[in-house]
């Protein structure tokens, strides 16, 4: 007899073992997902719920650790799903059942709908950064003219970018003045028009928090709005995206446009994961209320925005938690301060750390990656994809 450990950080090991015994691929994948282990941290539990949870969870084969008003619940997805049925649990556990049901991630989205059609997510999707600003933290002033922007766009696409994200207002730390909409439009619209003319099938994203800029960019050929405030800073943004039937990236952040990259609003009461989840969930609700289709939304945890270096590292480690929101996840760790702090490297040497962070993000469920150095990220993500899928 042979006993071989199966690494359960992803469902692949169980899936491949079942396939080796003749199971059909889709059935093996479903079974592997069902056996995959998850854990949840429950807080604010009353005594009645705590007293009922331990024995009931035990009958389902779940592991439970408890304390004063809290519990950690762990087990396979199939057994957790059995708990997430309010009509079958003791009355004192009905709220727990609903909460677990909402936290269990749904099936991963396979496409993202944009104004230019579907973006397929079966492989990593790279979003190349094209800043047409004079003061961006990494590449400010390099591509401010249309000719320079087009030349750089060609390099990004040649290196493997699937989408280009055009930004006309920097969110770098230490900014002291807003960019007026008129000036932002003068920077981005000619570039978007030129890109749309030269690359008719290209999915172009406009990185802005202003609805007026988003509307003009969409009219000029953009298909996606990347709102780093997730609809917080301009109440007209959600309806603008909805009316254009555009795709949207909702990034977590806090504070005004001048505070986004600071630590001024980085107090999450010891629970940065819970805070990011709750605030992105509110943004998704706003999107739904505005008439934006669920399949048009992508979420971004906002690395480097209103988070300390330690919080960013924790968020990267726990990125899988965002799958509970049921939307594709984009990450943008490119050249961020937390990478420099973790690896003790200056801004100009952070592309290797960026590629590593992207690969780690892919392993934790991210499928879109916003980067400056497309070639390095593409290589790291190709390896991560091959390891994770076997193809």
The tens digit of pLDDT for each residue in 57-107 reads 999 999 999 999 999 999 999 999 999 999 999 999 999 999 999 999 888
Q: What one-character-per-residue DSSP string does 144-201 give? A: -SHHHHHHHHHHHHHHT-SEEEEESS---TT--SPPPHHHHHHHHHHHHHHHHHH-TT
State the pLDDT at residue 210.
97
For the domain that residue 231 is a member of, what is the CATH number? 3.20.20.20
Same domain flag for 89 and 117: no
State the pLDDT at residue 261.
86
Residue 282: is its pLDDT beyond 60?
yes
What does the alpha-carbon distance between residue 309 and residue 311 come to, in Å, rounded to a whole number?
5
Same domain flag for 234 and 371: yes
Same domain flag for 179 and 44: no
Per-residue pLDDT band for 140 (boundaries 50, 70, 90) equals very low
Same domain flag for 211 and 281: yes
State the pLDDT at residue 174.
60
State the pLDDT at residue 339.
95
Is 336 a catalytic site residue? yes
Same domain flag for 26 and 95: no
State the pLDDT at residue 56.
95
More confidently predicted of 232 and 389: 232
Question: In this structure, what is the dihedral angle of CA atoms 319, 272, 355, 147, given to the nearest 10 degrees?
Answer: 110
State the pLDDT at residue 160.
97
Note down the domain range covering 199: 111-389
Per-residue pLDDT band for 144 (boundaries 50, 70, 90) equals low
* 320 Rama class: left (phi>0) / alpha (psi -120 to 50) / beta: alpha
Residue 135: is its pLDDT beyond 90?
no
For the domain that residue 52 is a member of, what is the CATH number? 3.30.70
Same domain flag for 251 and 319: yes
Is 232 a catalytic site residue? no
Task: Indicate yes or no: pTM above 0.85.
Answer: yes
Same domain flag for 361 and 218: yes
State the pLDDT at residue 106.
87
State the pLDDT at residue 2.
77
**Catalytic member of 79, 336, 367, 378:** 336
Instruction: Report pLDDT digits (tens) over 164-186.
Output: 999 998 876 766 578 899 999 99
* 72 Rama class: left (phi>0) / alpha (psi -120 to 50) / beta: beta
Same domain flag for 236 and 280: yes
**Catalytic member of 15, 187, 210, 370:** 370
44-76 burial string, b = 16+ CB within 10 Å, else e? Answer: ebeeebbebbeebbeebebebebeeeebebbbb
- Give the number of domains in the chain: 3
State the pLDDT at residue 391.
74
Same domain flag for 69 and 149: no
Q: Going by C-beta distance under 8 Å and a sequence separation of 6 or more, which residues neighbour residue 44?
A: 69, 70
Q: Where is the domain boundary, 75, 103, 131?
A: 103
Q: Where is the domain boundary, 103, 122, 144?
A: 103
Same domain flag for 30 and 64: no
What is the average pLDDT across 137-158?
Answer: 78
Instruction: Report pLDDT digits (tens) over 309-363.
Output: 999 999 999 999 999 999 999 999 999 999 999 999 998 899 999 999 999 999 9
What is the average pLDDT across 104-117?
Answer: 93
Same domain flag for 257 and 315: yes
Counting residues of the chain whose pLDDT is more than 70, the rounded percentage is 96
Same domain flag for 361 and 372: yes
Instruction: Report pLDDT digits (tens) over 234-274.
Output: 999 999 999 999 999 999 999 999 898 889 999 999 999 99
Q: Where is the domain boundary, 103, 132, 156?
A: 103
Instruction: Report pLDDT digits (tens) over 203-228.
Output: 999 999 999 999 999 999 999 999 99
């Amino acid at each position: 007899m042979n006993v071989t450990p199966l690494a359960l950080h992803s469902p692949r090991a169980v899936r491949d073992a079942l396939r080796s015994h003749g199971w059909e691929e889709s059935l093996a994948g479903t079974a592997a997902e069902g056996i995959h282990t998850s854990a949840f941290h429950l807080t604010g539990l009353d005594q009645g719920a705590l007293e009922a949870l331990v024995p009931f969870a035990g009958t389902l084969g779940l592991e439970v650790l408890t304390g004063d008003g809290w519990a950690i619940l762990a087990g396979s997805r199939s057994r957790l799903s059995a708990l997430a049925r309010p009509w079958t649990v003791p009355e004192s556990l009905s709220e727990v059942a609903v909460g677990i049901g909402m936290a269990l991630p749904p099936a991963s989205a396979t496409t993202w709908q944009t104004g230019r059609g579907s973006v397929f997510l079966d492989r990593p999707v790279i979003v190349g950064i094209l800043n047409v600003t004079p003061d961006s933290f990494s590449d400010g002033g390099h591509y401010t003219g249309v000719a320079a922007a087009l030349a750089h766009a060609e390099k990004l696409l040649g290196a493997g970018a699937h989408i280009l994200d055009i930004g006309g207002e920097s969110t770098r730390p230490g900014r002291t003045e807003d960019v007026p909409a008129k000036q932002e439009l003068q920077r981005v619209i000619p570039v978007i028009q030129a890109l749309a003319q030269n690359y008719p099938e290209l999915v172009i994203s406009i990185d802005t928090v202003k609805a007026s800029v988003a509307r003009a960019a969409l009219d000029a050929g953009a298909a996606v709005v990347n709102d780093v405030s997730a609809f917080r800073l301009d109440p007209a943004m959600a309806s603008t995206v909805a009316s254009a039937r555009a795709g949207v990236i909702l990034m977590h952040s806090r504070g005004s446009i001048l505070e986004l990259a600071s630590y001024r609003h980085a107090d999450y009461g010891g629970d940065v994961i819970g805070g990011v989840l709750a605030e992105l969930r509110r943004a998704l609700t706003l999107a739904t209320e505005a008439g934006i289709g669920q399949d048009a939304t992508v979420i971004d945890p906002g690395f480097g925005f209103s988070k300390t270096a330690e919080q960013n590292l924790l968020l990267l480690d726990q990125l899988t938690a965002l799958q509970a929101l049921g939307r594709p996840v984009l990450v943008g760790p490119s050249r961020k301060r937390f990478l420099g702090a973790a690896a003790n490297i200056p801004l100009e040497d952070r592309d290797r750390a960026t590629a590593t962070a992207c690969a780690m993000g892919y392993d934790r469920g991210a499928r879109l990656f916003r980067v400056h150095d497309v070639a390095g990220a593409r290589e790291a993500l190709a390896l991560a994809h091959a390891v994770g899928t076997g193809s």
